[in-house]
Structure 1
Amino acid sequence: MEMNVSNNEEQVVAKKKGGLNPAVIIPILFVVGVAIFLFVLGSPSNFHEDARTAGHLSVATASLDAKELHPESFMGIIYMGGPIVPILITFMITVIVFSFERFFVLKKASGSGDLDSFVVNVRNLLNQNKVDEALEECDRQEGSVGNVVKEGLTTYKALANDTSLNKEQKMVALNKAIEEATTLEMPMLEKNMMILSTLGTVSTLIALLGTVIGMIKAFFALGSGGGTPDAAALSIGISEALINTALGIGTSAIAIILYNFFTSKIDGLTYKIDEIAMSIQQSFAEFH
């Protein structure tokens, strides 16, 4: 029994180690986000000819007055959003990268072939007490659902030949085996989902910070100049505020939509596991 528990713990650790490691990936994505801000959005080609004379903007902008920059493209406009923009770009890239990761992980977890057909086939076979044929279906299906069902069916066969336990004890053991198999699979399905959930909220807050900074600059320009507002500085402050707001809301919306999408997929897989688990228990109660 102790050996069994130890093996289960090792399998849980192995499951949790799967997928992308946020501690490694997120710093890399931040560097990519800063590079995009400096060398793509800050490229001289995105600004008016007068600003290009200062050299490559992505390197020399720090020495330029913001009023000397006149964006000629949408990327140049985004660049004018200020220092919060690379953070929001990092958030957007992070959402995209981990969404692709979750998509492929959940696709693999669904296994090969049609999952609904697999559930129907296994249930039909269990109704006829054809456990070996159901195990063959699991081998063909693979994936998280197939793994859980296979573990349940393997325990089913072992308990069917066990004469040391009564029927009630066998049902408890079977239910426990299915629950443990499900527990082993769930960490891999839910890993990194918290990142999407967090960015759905944090993106808006960081964008709000950029908005506040931009409005502070705008009001400062409005109050300076000896009674005559600096129109250029005022417009730059307002545009910075709106750019950050737009980027933050866009990132947050995408993160929330994808989080809910993947959550529904995980719930669907869990429901199918529970559906087959119930069929396994009913079959065992009927035939044994």
Structure 2
Amino acid sequence: MHFLQITTTDSLSAATDSLAAQNSVSLLDLTLKGGLMMIPIFILSIMAIYIFIERMLIIRKASQNPSVLMERIKSLVLNGDIVSARLLCSQTDTPIARMLEKGVSRIGSPLKNIEVSIENVGKIEIYNLEKNLSLLATVSGAAPMVGFLGTVTGMIQAFIAIAQEEGSVSPKLLSSGIYEAMITTAAGLIVGIIAYLAYNYLVAQVAKIIYKMEYTSIEFIDLLQEPEKVR
């Protein structure tokens, strides 16, 4: 009797596992069942990934600590070695270095002109840092909307199929049409949320670099006002 109970339990467990395996749907199957609207959502996801990686590489390169560079430039300027200071800036590929290079090249001009020159270079560098961030923000808003549009069109097709069905409508037909239509909304929300988080993270990183740029430019202007500096 005990052996028969064990055998029956094993059979039920095997049958349950087999049924679960048959009913399970892979991620690829769900994606394919989402319809044509999954194509623009997929394109938007690729755009978001590309922009995030490309911006991260630029931001990481630009976020180098400027304190060491500023100390070396300060020492060279105070010693009157303007050429070496400018050469040092040109050899450092960061927004702060390019701002300082413009300022060093204007040494001897009125202080206001130097400040304006540094500010103009800073505006260009900020534009380069923020490049494509607006596009990433657009992806974060557009992806859920495209997903919702896919759901609406999918629901319309599902109800058309139900209307064309003769006799009683099976629950399987109704449920399959609805869940396939909802796939695009889920995909659009996933892409939109990830793009939104990536956008806010990049904006925060750019804000940190802008703060460093402003602080360094003020420090450089203060340096030029020191009486020991060489004009």
TM range (shorter): 0.7 to 0.9
Verify: 1:176 aligned to 2:129, yes or no: no
200-209 vs 185-194, which moves further: 185-194
Choose from 234, 246, 268 the match for 2:186.
246
8 Å contact from structure 1 (residues 88, 248) kept in 2: yes
Verify: 1:103 aligned to 2:56, yes or no: yes
8 Å contact from structure 1 (residues 149, 273) kept in 2: no
Taking a change above 3 Å as real, the CA distance of residues 216 and 130 of structure 1, as seen in their structure-2 partners, is farther
* 1:65-99 superposed Cα distances (whole Å, 9 cap, x missing partner): xxxxx985320121001110111111111111222
* 1:6-48 superposed Cα distances (whole Å, 9 cap, x missing partner): xxxxxxxxxxxxxxxxxxxxxxxxxxxxxxxxxxxxxxxxxxx
Verify: 1:145 aligned to 2:96, yes or no: yes
Q: Distance in 2 between matches of 1:236 and 1:278?
A: 64
Q: Distance in 1 between matches of 2:61 and 2:68?
A: 20
Which residues of structure 2 form unaligned runs of 5+? 1-22
Taking a change above 3 Å as real, the CA distance of residues 130 and 193 of structure 1, as seen in their structure-2 partners, is farther
* 1:168-207 superposed Cα distances (whole Å, 9 cap, x missing partner): xx12101111012113323322222221011110101100
Equivalent position amino acid for 1:265 in 2: Q
**Corresponding residue of 2:150:** 210
Verify: 1:122 aligned to 2:75, yes or no: no
Which structure has more relative contact order (CA 8 Å, sep 6+)? It is 2
Which residues of structure 1 form unaligned runs of 5+? 1-69, 160-169
SS at match of 1:286: coil
Choose from 80, 86, 91 the match for 2:39.
86
Larger Rg: 2
Q: Give the CA RMSD over aligned residues.
A: 2.8
TM-score normalised by L of structure 1: 0.62
8 Å contact from structure 2 (residues 140, 193) kept in 1: yes
**Corresponding residue of 2:127:** 187
8 Å contact from structure 2 (residues 96, 216) kept in 1: no
8 Å contact from structure 2 (residues 59, 206) kept in 1: yes
Q: Distance in 1 between matches of 2:79 and 2:180?
A: 67
Equivalent position amino acid for 2:78 in 1: N
Equivalent position amino acid for 1:263 in 2: V
SS at match of 1:282: helix
SS at match of 1:228: coil
How far apart are 1:107 and its partner, in Å?
Answer: 2.9
Q: Distance in 2 between matches of 1:100 and 1:283?
A: 37
TM-score normalised by L of structure 2: 0.75
How far apart are 1:134 and its partner, in Å?
Answer: 5.4
Alignment of 1:39-118 (within 5 A): 73-110=26-63, 115-116=64-65, 118=66
Equivalent position amino acid for 1:210 in 2: G
Taking a change above 3 Å as real, the CA distance of residues 263 and 242 of structure 1, as seen in their structure-2 partners, is same
How far apart are 1:276 and its partner, in Å?
Answer: 0.8
Taking a change above 3 Å as real, the CA distance of residues 124 and 109 of structure 1, as seen in their structure-2 partners, is closer
8 Å contact from structure 2 (residues 144, 192) kept in 1: yes
**Corresponding residue of 1:158:** 108
SS at match of 1:141: coil
